Amino acid sequence: MSLLVVGSIAFDSIRTPHGEVEEILGGSATFFSVTASWFTPVSVVAVVGEDFGAEQLRIFHDRSIDTQGVEQVPGRTFRWKGEYTGDMNQAHTLETQLNVFESFVPKIPPAYLDTQFLFLGNIDPVLQLNVRRALPNLRISALDTMNYWIQGMPEDLAKVLATVEILLINEGEARMLTHQGNLKKAAAIIQKLGPRVVVIKRGEHGATLFGPESIFTVPAYLLDEVHDPTGAGDTFAGGFMGHLARTGDLSDSNLRRAAVYGSVMGSFAVEEFGLDRLLRLTPEEIESRYREIKRLTHFDA
């Protein structure tokens, strides 16, 4: 089934111990949609500037991503410059130019109004809520957020949280949102705010899914080298939501499979800079890594 993502499209400049790239295609909607496109048809609502051209559009279209909702407006596209050092667990932002993203008002094309699966990427919670309300036929909506909104707009964030089924959030941000250091208690607090499924992303330690029926932990796949962690969280979300939308199955066992696909896709994302590895995948590679994570975690009862 079709999956809609609302989020950012950006040009990223990134430095890591493995190299440096300038103005490559990035942003939450980009990483999410490219990833989810391996599982299900995807549509994007985002804003770009005049510097976004055929070259960028081709990346989406090569993955059969519907870009009707990508609005082009006067000005420059969102730019982010960041650096990773040491264990690369944390991005250090060197520069942020919001540009056209600053006045982004998501517009849902009429063709998308019957959308059943929605991912609200990390944007202003007021905009997230407007999108959520504009889509009456949703079966599953998932939300990402960050410290900036948790601290700056807690009431608006609470409103949109009350309307979604799934929250995907970083470990540190889950603690910040709930003022609770214990992850199990933090997840229980979030579940009372609305989302019955809370996926806590733990970087190189994988992710923990708190569902209505059970808790599930998936490790990160162990790589010989992490080249660029940018987009890993949105890529996890793309694999997770992509699998849910593909199957339409929200059972406990399928939520677990979705989290494993999230971890699988996140592991590919960080192997190379930007979208490089995600664009060059095959379905066989995805299934093979899924089995490798099975092998990494299996033990006899």
What residues line the site for a second copy (CB under 8 A)? Answer: 86-87, 181-185, 202, 205-206, 208, 214-219, 222-226, 253, 256-257, 259-260, 291, 294-301
Considering the complex, state which of residue 118 and residue 255 has its C-beta at the smaller distance from a second copy.
255
Considering the complex, state which of residue 29 and residue 218 has its C-beta at the smaller distance from a second copy.
218
For residue 163, report the phi and psi dihedrals to the nearest 5 degrees. -105, -5
Considering the complex, state which of residue 96 and residue 214 has its C-beta at the smaller distance from a second copy.
214
Considering the complex, state which of residue 116 and residue 254 has its C-beta at the smaller distance from a second copy.
254
The Cα–Cα gap between 136 and 133 comes to 7
Q: In what order do the strands lie in the sheet with 197-201?
A: 66-72, 42-48, 3-6, 117-120, 140-144, 166-170, 197-201, 207-210, 215-218
Q: How far is the CB of 237 from a second copy (least distance, A)?
A: 18
Pick from 96, 163, 97: nearest CA to 126:
163
Q: How far is the CB of 297 from a second copy (least distance, A)?
A: 5
Tokens found for residue 134: 């504009």
Pick from 202, 227, 208: nearest CA to 277:
227
Q: What angle do CA 186, 148, 22 make, to 5 degrees?
A: 120
Considering the complex, state which of residue 24 and residue 187 has its C-beta at the smaller distance from a second copy.
187
Q: How far is the CB of 198 from a second copy (least distance, A)?
A: 13
Q: How far is the CB of 168 from a second copy (least distance, A)?
A: 18
| Encoded amino acid at 300, one letter | D
Q: How far is the CB of 31 from a second copy (least distance, A)?
A: 23
